[in-house]
């Protein structure tokens, strides 16, 4: 995952995170000027786009199998771009029957959840699978030594239909970040109300004082407002963590 753009704080000074290697930028400029190739902005307009995502509801199903070498592989299916995962249909799903039908060791619900980015560019949608009337696509796969890793454990997703996609937070959007003791920054991608029903885009800024979030000592939580768009680009994989209330954060790479 590569980041394009800058983040500037709205509380106490300007903190900018510059991304995209200089060599790569120079190469893009050279190609655009010398060969008439489209600029990055022009290319972005031509990419497949899933828009109006901010605070939109989606659900996920984890298809779980064991690995011969130990641990588990988890196939992630989600409903993004295919509907809002109606509560009645979601509550009625029979996950044992789903696992049997798909040939999985087990199937597990994840969500409902709510996005915090504004759009996803460049996703290459695959044919959806119907789960009890809720359509979902296989978007990522995770190999993990345990099925319930503790909060703040790094997990590396191998992207499927979202390989090469870009998550976009628009200018003016409020974002929430964590900085771990090594200085690595993480941007919140999505939240859920399954652990704390009071959470919404306004109350997320209070997570530092929310005991359920269980942010460890040495980690710093901040809320910022973007003065220009933030683009988080996936190159085939993404590293994530979750906090104590199951908000999902993606690693921000320089």
Is 32 domain-assigned? no
Task: Please give the model's pTM, rounded to 2 decimal places.
Answer: 0.79
Is 186 domain-assigned? yes
* Bigger pLDDT: 3 vs 167: 167
Q: Please give the mean pLDDT across all residues of the chain.
A: 82
Is 97 domain-assigned? yes
Is 18 domain-assigned? no
The count of structural domains within the chain is 1
Residue 159: predicted pLDDT: 76
8 Å CB contact between 232 and 240: no
Residue 208: predicted pLDDT: 95
Residue 194: predicted pLDDT: 94
Is 27 domain-assigned? no
* Bigger pLDDT: 9 vs 94: 94
Which tens digit of pLDDT belongs to each residue from 47-101? 577 889 999 999 999 999 999 888 999 999 999 989 999 999 999 999 999 999 9
- Poorest-pLDDT segment among 62-66, 122-126, 141-145, 181-185: 122-126
Residue 252: predicted pLDDT: 86
Query: What count of other Cβ atoms lies within 10 Å of the Cβ of residue 184?
Result: 15
Is 194 domain-assigned? yes
Helices (H) and strands (E) in the chain, counts: 4, 16
Using pLDDT thresholds of 50, 70 and 90, give the confidence band for residue 121.
confident
Is 49 domain-assigned? yes
The boundaries of the domain holding residue 97 are: 2-13+45-252
Which tens digit of pLDDT belongs to each residue from 184-227? 999 999 999 999 999 999 999 999 999 999 999 999 999 999 99
Q: How far is CA 240 from CA 70, 82, 190, 196, in A?
A: 22, 23, 11, 20
Cβ-in-10-Å burial (0-12, 13-18, 19+) of 2 comes to middle
End-to-end CA distance of the chain: 10
Residue 161: predicted pLDDT: 55
Residue 242's beta-bridge partner residues? Answer: 248
């Amino acid at each position: 995952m590569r980041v394009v753009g800058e983040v500037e704080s709205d509380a106490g000074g300007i903190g900018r995170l510059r991304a995209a290697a200089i060599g790569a930028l120079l190469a893009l400029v050279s190609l655009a000027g010398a060969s008439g190739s489209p600029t990055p902005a022009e290319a972005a307009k031509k990419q497949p786009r899933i828009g109006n995502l901010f605070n939109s509801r989606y659900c996920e199903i984890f298809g779980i199998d064991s690995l011969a070498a130990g641990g588990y592989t988890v196939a992630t299916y989600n409903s993004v771009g295919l509907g809002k995962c109606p509560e009645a249909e979601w509550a009625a799903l029979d996950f044992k029957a789903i696992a049997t039908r798909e040939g999985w060791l087990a199937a597990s619900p994840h969500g409902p959840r709510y996005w915090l980015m504004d759009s996803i560019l460049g996703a290459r949608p695959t044919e959806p699978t119907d789960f009890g009337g809720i359509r979902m696509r296989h978007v990522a796969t995770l190999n993990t030594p345990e099925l319930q890793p503790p909060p703040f454990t790094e997990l590396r997703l191998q992207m499927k239909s979202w390989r090469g996609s870009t998550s976009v937070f628009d200018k003016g959007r409020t974002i929430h970040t964590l900085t771990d003791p090594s200085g690595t920054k993480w941007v919140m991608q999505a939240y859920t109300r399954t652990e704390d029903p009071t959470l919404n885009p306004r109350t997320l800024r209070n997570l530092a004082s929310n005991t359920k979030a269980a942010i460890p000592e040495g980690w710093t939580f901040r809320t910022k407002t973007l003065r220009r768009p933030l683009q988080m680009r996936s190159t085939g994989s993404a590293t994530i963590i979750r906090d104590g209330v199951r908000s999902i954060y993606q690693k921000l790479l320089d």
